[in-house]
A and B are shown apart, each in its own frame.
Chain A
Amino acid sequence: MKRDINQNDAIWVRSYQKGSDKAFNKLYDRYERPLFSYLLKMLNNKQIAEDVFQQTWMKVIKALPEYREQQRFGSWLFGIAHHAAIDQIRKTGKQLVDEFASETLDEIDAGAETPDTILIKDEDSARLYEAVEQLPVAQRSVILMRLHGEISFKEIADIEKCSINTVLGRMHYAIANLKKVLVTDTQKRSSYVL
């Protein structure tokens, strides 16, 4: 009975454009939590995340009557939120340029100081949550857009105006960094036991 979610989005968009304000509620409810969680973890501040969240939807509402599905709705929405979040981070004076410039796929070499594979346990989840918040912005944004927002890597490359290799590179680095956190924790735990 479940239909393709993107098809649903397109129906709600067109329905809203044709005058059904209730169709907007469907779009909002579908994206409320993934989008807000994305902004919260990007900005690490509830108040600011709420402001940017609201700004994003206001922009969407303003542009929606003219929106013609050039882009999938979800990817369009996350794109607007992403740029608003980056503007916000710039405002607070953080240096993003260098961070966004590096980390392409070519730089990833075999092994990269992390163990081959690790087993992620349920109790790691809380620690992992903090670890995601501490990833460099560029890596955090890729991993969260992909996994919370279900935005494809190709769409992320379009949103961030970079190559798909850069996006994949950031994904690899994000996972490698999270892995390091978990491995360090495990080592700490075992040395404590010893």
Chain B
Amino acid sequence: MFCKEFNENGWLYLSDELDGESGKYFEEHIQHCTACQAQLAEARQWSNVIDKLPLHRPSGTIRKSILREAKASCPPKEHTGFFRKWQYSLSFGLPGLAAAALLLLILIKPWNHSDTQVVDILMWDDSVAIEMIDLSLAIITMEKDYNENYENDDVDFLEETTLSVFHDELSDLRTELENYNSMAESI
């Protein structure tokens, strides 16, 4: 069984690359085309099988030399003065990080600022986000240095959690600032 539609759309459909109209059209088509259904099932099977083929690592010395080169070529650090104040509290680890994010939220509550300041903050909070992630990375690296075992699950978990806390706090902050901004515009 064979359908020309599959050639044109099947793999794009599986990799989520069919947009709007063509996506809708193909989805409707496969509802009643048994050839496409069979070909899709097989294509999925192939993806799974190839996905499971073993992956390889280069020799360990290569990782070291690439990371060394990256470190040497890294642009100089940008620090927002504001953040230096939080470095100390951040160094206490996860609870400190959450507290710092919360304090940040309180400190730049939008109603304390004029319009232009809010715009400034909106521009600025991306660099704040980077700074926060940067600092959390520094903490994680410190912990990793204590524990040479790179695959340690607890370290990964801590990292995920830390980043996720940051992410949530910052997206709340951004929404709040954006709400304020549109409110200010409507006045």
Find out whether the CB atom of A125 lies under 8 angstroms from the CB atom of B167.
Answer: no
Query: Interface SS of chain B: helix, strand, loop or mixed?
Result: helix
Find out whether the CB atom of B45 lies under 8 angstroms from the CB atom of A120.
Answer: yes
Q: Which residues of B contact A164 (CB under 8 A)?
A: 12
Number of interface residues of A (CB under 8 A): 61
Within 8 A of A (CB), among B149-181: 160-161, 163-164, 167
Q: Within the assembled complex, what's the spacing in Å between the Cα atoms of A21 and B57?
A: 22
Q: Which residues of B contact A58 (CB under 8 A)?
A: 66, 69
Stretch of A47-55, A78-86, A88-96 contacting B (4+ beta carbons < 8 Å): A47-55
Find out whether the CB atom of A125 lies under 8 angstroms from the CB atom of B138.
Answer: no
Known: A18-B130, A19-B77. A28 touches B66 (CB 8 A): yes
Known: A18-B78, A132-B53, A178-B46. A49 touches B58 (CB 8 A): yes
Q: Within the assembled complex, what's the spacing in Å between the Cα atoms of A175 and B49?
A: 12
Q: Is A128 an interface residue (CB 8 A)?
A: yes
Find out whether the CB atom of B137 lies under 8 angstroms from the CB atom of A22.
Answer: yes
Query: Interface SS of chain A: helix, strand, loop or mixed?
Result: helix
Q: Which residues of A contact B57 (CB under 8 A)?
A: 32-33, 36
Q: Which residues of B contact A105 (CB under 8 A)?
A: 7-8
Known: A28-B63, A153-B11. A1 touches B137 (CB 8 A): no
Q: Which residues of A contact B54 (CB under 8 A)?
A: 37, 129
Q: Which residues of B contact A17 (CB under 8 A)?
A: 75
Q: Is A117 an interface residue (CB 8 A)?
A: yes
Q: Is B56 an interface residue (CB 8 A)?
A: yes
Q: Within the assembled complex, what's the spacing in Å between the Cα atoms of A146 and B12?
A: 11
Q: Which residues of A contact B127 (CB under 8 A)?
A: 18
> Among B42, B134, B167, which residue has its beta carbon within 8 angstroms of that of A3?
B167
B residues near A (Cβ < 8 Å) are: 1-2, 4, 7-8, 11-12, 15, 17, 38-39, 41-43, 45-47, 49-59, 62-63, 65-67, 69-71, 73-78, 126-127, 129-131, 133-134, 137-138, 141, 160-161, 163-164, 167
Beyond the given A32-B58, A110-B4, A116-B1, could you list 8 further A-B residue pairs with CB under 8 A, ordered by the A residue number? A14-B126, A19-B77, A23-B134, A54-B58, A65-B73, A105-B8, A111-B2, A132-B53
Show 6 residue pairs from A and B whose CB-CB distance is below 8 angstroms, ordered by the A residue.
A20-B130, A20-B138, A32-B63, A33-B55, A65-B75, A116-B2
4 residue pairs, one from A and one from B, having the closest CB atoms:
A19-B77, A21-B74, A24-B70, A33-B55
